Structure 1
């Protein structure tokens, strides 16, 4: 791992971690939005997952002492990139920002004040959704909740990485991102978080989420329920789950396994359907035929 460090001697309050790979046309916007935060002191850590385009040159052009670039061997993935950033972060708070998104200038200032007031270890803000350069309104299913919403978080990912701020102690307690998951690594982390902590919601639009491009993980990794299934199977191996948590996980595991298997059968992949159904059934009990609605 190659690292170029240009940080100030004084420890920052907030460490912004930006993973990236081959996004020379986008990462500059993300970095600029982090450096433009009204809250100081702040450090920005960009973890380059082996870019082969002009990303290094774009980052070098900033000549900014608050910017650190960590360069990884190619292809280790977004989880490894975020974990590498966590390993060198010095801030009392850690903020996540995807390299294709951006923050509004008051994001970290407003969020630090909010978390201090509420005594939170993790929080998120609302965000503006952009798709193809146009603003779109997220559906009701994507409305951000507040507090302990473990059961809802099993159904879909309800926390956006680019809106998150956590204390350093949060990651020490909960752990980092699962590097064995090529996608849905954030879904997995938020579930582990919600076993112990409420996720606070600062109900202000303080981040901009840009979507609709073919290089995003949601487009690259189709059938993402497979990774959510793997996450839930991992959760069931923990010894700190309440009976209610176990019941919620098994219910959603059955539902997702049946839906995933049904999709496999439509794509003429019966072996994959059978494999995943067997894994889910061993962990959650009888599932029924792949074409049926989950119990």
Structure 2
């Protein structure tokens, strides 16, 4: 046991009593046992503290706030108290596989250049489970950061020495997008990885941050987008910011004009990244191609102008097709099939 590196598990708690026992138990039952469990009760007004106090496991350390100070304060406090070689995150209304910590520690020990390790996740409700398969390799993770989170915060295990070396903390200026902000600040200095296995389960309900604070989360996410785009030498218009946000989150309207705007935007990103070399290639270009393909597949009913648009965009798979494939595509566009 003593030759295993210590892991510090940090879990903020605020009014999480309905699911807290399951969350705590999923940590206490881990097959990897050498950890300290730092729980920050952030001024809960329900029975959360009573649930916590039922556990007598010596690895648990409980800290109380007399008033709610917010998750960012709680996180920075917990990270500051951590003594482990690694810091693992946990949210109070989720749960994880009992092998999660063992698998993450094994990877971090085997790959000493990895600074942050996440996992795939499953979103669960009373009646369903939806698996999210995130990018695995560091280059693909970094490429997607221009649009959003490619690492789920609560799944992460950090190398504490990396955080200390670069004086990294969560920023109060990006409430409900503090993780995304931190990842983007790590873009040029960190090596990321996601374990391609569901080791974490996120409970979906109407009390989720993404539901209760959706408007603020979108606002702060777009602020982060704006900062990254400016680093690429782009000063986006409000319309471009909205298009950028939407193109990886929803379907755009099926019109040639909207697709032309998207084409111009993706090509601008492609040009600027070639000039600035911020996002790793070829992962970034491959992602641009994937976004373009997502919105243009099955749109031949838009006709001749759509065919011309596809031919003009160097990101189109059209340019990799055989003559026969191009002819069939042209014919479907002309017939608006």
TM-score by length of structure 2 reads: 0.65
The count of aligned residue pairs is 244
Map 1:146-185; keep pairs closer than 5 Å: 146-148=137-139, 149-172=141-164, 173=166, 175-185=168-178
| Structure 2 contact 151–194 (Cα < 8 Å) conserved | no
CA gap of 1:110–1:259, structure 2 versus 1, over 3 A, is closer
Q: Post-superposition shift, 1:44?
A: 0.7
Deviation string for 1:22-46 (max 9, x for gaps)?
A: 0111122111111111112111111
CA gap of 1:11–1:198, structure 2 versus 1, over 3 A, is closer
| Structure 1 contact 174–193 (Cα < 8 Å) conserved | no
2: distance between equivalents of 1:111 and 1:251?
A: 38
Q: Which runs of 5+ in 2 are unaligned?
A: 246-260, 266-337
Q: 2:254 — aligned with what? A: none
Q: For the aligned residues, what is the CA RMSD?
A: 2.9
CA gap of 1:69–1:249, structure 2 versus 1, over 3 A, is farther
Structure 2 residue 188 is the aligned partner of structure 1 residue 200: no
2: distance between equivalents of 1:167 and 1:126?
A: 19
> Which one has a larger percent helix, Structure 1 or Structure 2?
2
Deviation string for 1:139-176 (max 9, x for gaps)?
A: xxx63342033331121212112211111112212511
Structure possessing the higher radius of gyration over alpha carbons: 2
| Structure 1 contact 12–90 (Cα < 8 Å) conserved | no
Q: 2:36 — aligned with what? A: 43
Q: 2:120 — aligned with what? A: 126
TM-score by length of structure 1 reads: 0.74
CA gap of 1:197–1:53, structure 2 versus 1, over 3 A, is same
CA gap of 1:137–1:128, structure 2 versus 1, over 3 A, is closer
| Structure 2 contact 11–40 (Cα < 8 Å) conserved | yes
CA gap of 1:12–1:145, structure 2 versus 1, over 3 A, is closer
1:113 aligned residue (99, 106, 111): 106
Alignment partner of 1:194: what SS?
coil
| Structure 2 contact 134–151 (Cα < 8 Å) conserved | no
CA gap of 1:145–1:54, structure 2 versus 1, over 3 A, is same
CA gap of 1:11–1:116, structure 2 versus 1, over 3 A, is closer
2:207 aligned residue (203, 207, 215): 215
CA gap of 1:91–1:256, structure 2 versus 1, over 3 A, is same
Alignment partner of 1:65: what SS?
coil
| Structure 1 contact 77–179 (Cα < 8 Å) conserved | no
Q: Post-superposition shift, 1:230?
A: 2.9
1: distance between equivalents of 2:218 and 2:233?
A: 16
Tell which deviates more after alignment, 169-178 or 40-49. Answer: 169-178
Deviation string for 1:89-142 (max 9, x for gaps)?
A: 11110000111111111111111111121221111112222123521244xxx6
Deviation string for 1:205-243 (max 9, x for gaps)?
A: 2111221x111110111222210133355668xxxxxxx
